[in-house]
Structure 1
Amino acid sequence: MTDDTLTLDLDGWEGPLDLLLALARAQKVDLREISILALVEQYLGYVDQARALRLELAADYLVMAAWLAYLKSALLLPRDPEVEPSPEELALRLQLRLERLNAMREAGARLMARDRVGRDVFKRDAAEGLRTVRKARWQAEIYDLIAAYGRISARTRPVMHVVADRQVMTLEAAIARVSALIGQAIEWRTIEAFLPDDDGPLRKSALASSFVASLELARQGRVELRQHAPFAPLYLRAPA
């Protein structure tokens, strides 16, 4: 039983245009200077020799053969000015297509000739990198340790505010004392003369309270005040 499917193994050829390129190269001239007529003769002769392969089933090759036969006849016969495009333009287009195909095949050949990964060159394994080990190094003096302990202890210790009991003179007591002593003072006397004979903590409280008491008694008209300058001694006496 015969198989009607046509199988062509043409050493890497993929179609009639590749066959034309191979035949053009056989002329051993620049593709821009090839003879289109000689190329057509070679192609048609190749088709005639391939009849044993039942080439009539390869439509692409037969279409190209018919087109080349038309191009050959157009180039040999006188040109018809009404036919567009002209045979010379068709031949130029074919020549440009062959040049483009040749450039593509050469680029492909150069690409495939380069070194291949896994065959000619091998990738280097990825770098493992450097592991960073961090260690804390504390530097502190005795003052820093005590201050840190104090801050932590202050946060955890319950807050207690203790007011120390101290001896003070109230305003009422100062008014009573100044009122009692002012009746005995006819001349001007400093406010220190109305303080108790105590050099301890009570003297500061007595001075402040006596000063306020003097202002209150002066407001009531029960005492007269005199001071020559700011921050100068304050004098008191009974009203004249």
Structure 2
Amino acid sequence: MSDEMMDADSGLELDDVIGFEEDPPRDGVEPGEYNPDELLLNIDGYEGPIDVLLVMARDQKVDLAKISILQLTRQYLVFMDRAKAMNLDLAAEYLVMAAWLAYLKSRLLLPREESKGNEPSADQMAEALQFQLRRLEAMKNAANALFRRPYLGNGIYTRGMPEGLGVKTDITWDITLFDLLKAYGDIRRRQEFSTFELPVFSIMTMEEALDRVGTMLGKLPRKGPYSAWVTMNSLMPEKIKDPLYGRSSMASTFTAGLELVKQGKVEIKQDGLFRPIYMRATFVDRDRVGGPDTEQSDDVEQDNNPDAADDFDGESETSYAEAGV
């Protein structure tokens, strides 16, 4: 029989229906060898396994009218006597097959009568049997496919420290063209009516630098009309964290020093290019007219009288504070 032949009732190929291929050999029996656990029939019109006869009879591949139910029953009883020690499941399976053959044969011999009530007809029962056989075949195929897969711990081994599963999130936007235009319009509208705020920078002003330089220079030790020299960096604030404030304080301190030099209150010097800048305060008596002789006599008097120098320091500091340094 060709594998391309279709089942008349179900529209399936014959390979999808149980019975057209013999069962796999049991207990290590190779194909073609004699198997004592298999019921082989030799009756008029058929010779072979009983399960194949059942399927052929169901699909009308063999004429049941030519098969003797008496010979079928006798051969089955002989087989059962010979197989008393065989598997009960196998014996029950053959019993069901023989019963179905006997039932189909009886329905052919008896005259057809209208079914009473809900009793199924012979065709319906044959279709039900065919469906059960196909379902059983599908289950067997699924079971065989599972058992053919490699076993964990036998053909496949797991890792000792498996890695976690990575989660990948794909964002899908389900929006329309109107939603895009509306979102763009909202952004443009917010930008048009937004209030511009000037940024506020933390810097040192010129006034702050003048006050700081004048106060710190006024507290320095001095000799005569001049105070001690001090670097410009020492007049700047300490521990500045903001780079902008540090740059502005340096520029404001230097500018304040230049302004005080212009006023005659501070002197600035630098020993060389890129060398530190030094500053010192100059203290001038406002009541003194000035002149080389007067200034020299004052210096000599202060050098000869240390107490007088201290008094000058106090007066000069007072005058320096009044001058705004």
TM-score bin, normalised by smaller chain: 0.3 to 0.5
Which protein has the larger Cα radius of gyration, Structure 1 or Structure 2? Answer: 1
The TM-score, its normalising length taken from structure 2, stands at 0.26
The TM-score, its normalising length taken from structure 1, stands at 0.34
Kindly indicate which of the two structures has a greater share of residues assigned to strand. 2
